[in-house]
Structure 1
Amino acid sequence: MTRKKVKLAFITNDSARKATFRKRKKGLMKKLSELSTLCGIDICAIIYSSYESQPEVWPDNRGIHRVLAQFKGMPEMEQSKKMVNQESFIRQRIAKASEQLKKQHKENREKQITPVMYQCLTGVGL
């Protein structure tokens, strides 16, 4: 039996919200572990919540420091290569959409001109 789609909205009931947080956090930690094991990559997570006084770290403090040191040891250009803020993300999306629009205009123009060219070649008047 499949699960129904969860409506993403703020959970107003405190106990239900806390229970959902715990379940989702446990699932997230499991996925992090699986991703790290299956792909052989260094990965870390820091989760802050209002339910706990200290942030929860995965895998442990040494693992976090190792991953962060590895990241900070990279050249600055390499660090920021795949990072985007909202403005640059939107600019990329606009550029991609405008490129697709140009391509579609070209295809439409070719589809309009092709029958006219065939008519001219066959001698049928415009």
Structure 2
Amino acid sequence: MSNHERQIRDLFAAYLGNDRQRVADALADDFRFTSPFDDDLDKAAYFERCWRDTGWIARHDIERIFVQGDEAFVTYLCLATDGRSFRNTEFFTFAGGKVRRIDVYFGAARRDGRFLPQAR
């Protein structure tokens, strides 16, 4: 397992454990975060806007991690405690031993192993 793969797995475990400090320590000071709802947030804005109690998550099933140099893709299925689930892909960039950037690409919501229709 590569160091970056280990960092990603550790970050997912810290997030699931609601360990905000461990997540903060893994992120570079100049960290940036982008998702379909968030455009290029800095570290402070990420925690203000995106951090919440992770008790609603039952587990993350990491399906694949591809690492090339200081970049990586991870695809995972997130299962909520209420039975909902969704599948995302995230693109990570690393610098100086820390996560410098995460770009999230949301997947469709799923229930009972099937995709739910999307509102148009």
**TM-score, shorter chain, exceeding 0.5:** no
Give 1 or 2: higher helix fraction: 1
- Which TM-score applies when normalising by structure 2? 0.22
Structure 1 or 2, whichever has the larger Rg, is 1
Give 1 or 2: higher strand fraction: 2
